Amino acid sequence: METTIIKNGRIIDPANNLDTIGDILIVDGVIAKVGVIDDFPSDPVVIDATDKIVCPGFIDLHTHLREPGREDKETIKTGTMAAAAGGYTSICPMGNTSPVCDSAAVVKFIKTRADIDAIVNVYPMGTVTKNLAGEEIVEFGDLYYAGVKGFTDDGNPVMNAEIMRRALEYSTMFGLPILDHCEDKQLSDEGVMHDGLVSTRIGLKGIPPQAESIQVARDVDLAAMTGGHIHIQHVSKKASLCHIRQGKKQGVNITAEATPHHLCLTDEKLADFNTNAKMNPPLGSEEDRQALIEALIDGTIDCIATDHAPHTDIEKDMPITLAPFGTIGLETAFPACYTYLVKTSRLSVSMLIQKMTQAPADIIKIAPRGSLSLGAPADITIIDLNKSQLITKDFFHSKSSNNCFIGETLCGVITTTLVSGKVVFRRDDPKIT
Ligand SMILES: [Zn+2]
């Protein structure tokens, strides 16, 4: 019997309405007791969590692991090391790999590779259409039985409304969500950044907010029509929120995520042509950012997801018009949100944790992960809120370092991450055990 005890931490478990000082006893990888524990088996591994937060491990619904196909950017191994270092214990890789994840064979490859290399739980997403071409729907049943947790063409929108309608209809047979990268390609065109004052000032082609909001409106309507579960990915603009809010009010099966970068930063970050701040959808205005925070608080936005998108230095060192879209985010998600949203008194720390644990677990139905319930796998993150860290290029365990928070000092340091009771990351000794 393997026994670990996490002593004297501030235990925050939103799924069980818990915020208390105490201990957690882990026996054979599952949570055996939460509270003040005096009687435990002899010789446990003891982790002292005095003055630290102890919470369920974070769950990311939106990760790009790049394997198979672009192992120069990230692999299942390095991506899950980055996840563990960021306090994530479960992640969902997107299907826009090479080959794309549109068949059971590719799902099985990812799962087999993850069994060997991953240090956190990996829940692959399948694509909606074959080869991400937007023309022909994948065999949903094959992918479901191979083990995907949802379907998404992320990286690309599903431009054809009829295809999206059918996808939503089929997905109801398997109870899985369609995760939706909303972008009207004709409107976004060759745009580089948000269409606003900054783009005008620095002379870069803008992407109007309606490139996102028009497709959000369409897909909320299609979800209403079909009864399918639509999950709107990386919502970034105020103009999209009214459609989600309205849909939810009318009982449409809709959930939504926002990224740390859209919640924390604005298009001003691109004023010096910083390619790490070039992402799709683009960073919006301060008005957009404030609207997103409000939506996170009122539940219009259900959860926080990273859209961790690794790219090599060679690609990101190109002129801003040519550099690829994307920022890595697994290792800065909590510190960025804690610094920008909790330290500024907009969100409580327990609400932030709820948006990164219970909420995403509910969307892909993997509870009791995302909680510290008795009998749940002991996926646990320990955080020191009293420490801060300057984010530099050397900070990352990811294979890539294209991160939009480089140069900033962020509060809240992940010190230890456990998956099924096993320590997979420790900040003082970042070697993976
Ligand atoms: Zn996307």
Q: What is the CATH number of the domain that holds 140?
A: 3.20.20.140
In a domain, 97, yes or no: yes
To 5 degrees, how large is the angle CA 187–CA 233–CA 186?
10
Rounded to the nearest whole angstrom, what is the distance from the C-alpha of residue 152 to the centroid of ligand 1?
A: 9
**Does 145 reside within a domain?**
yes
Report how far Cα 378 is from the mean position of its chain's Cα atoms. 20
- The reported pLDDT for the residue numbered 38 is 83
In the prediction, which pLDDT does 225 show?
A: 98
- Residue ranges with CB less than 5 Å from ion ligand 1: 154, 181
In a domain, 297, yes or no: yes
Query: Is position 389 within any domain?
Result: no
Q: Could you tell me if residue 215 is inside a domain?
A: yes
pLDDT < 70 stretches in the chain: 429-433
Is the previous residue joined to 68 through a cis bond, with omega within 30 degrees of 0? yes
| Domains identified in the chain, total number | 1
CA distance 310 to 277: 13
Q: What is the pLDDT of residues 166-183, one digit of tens each?
A: 999 999 999 999 999 999
**Is beta strand 18-27 parallel, antiparallel or unpaired with respect to 380-390?**
unpaired
| Helix, strand or coil, per DSSP, at residue 385 | strand
- pLDDT at 40 (0 to 100): 74
Q: Is residue 190 part of a domain?
A: yes
| CA of residue 155 to ligand 1 center, whole Å | 5
Q: Give the CA-trace dihedral at 212, 219, 127, 73, to 10 degrees.
A: 20
Give the pLDDT confidence score for residue 431 in this predicted structure.
41
What does the angle CA 97 – CA 406 – CA 63 come to, to the nearest 5 degrees?
25
What DSSP state is assigned to residue 391?
A: -
User: Do the domain assignments include residue 261?
Assistant: yes
Domain that holds residue 171: 57-363
Taking the centre of ligand 1 as the mean of its atom positions, its distance from the CA of residue 179, in whole angstroms, is 9
Cα 230 to middle of ligand 1, angstroms: 14
Residue 130 lies in a domain: yes
pTM of structure = 0.97
Strand (E) positions, 371-420? 380-390, 409-419
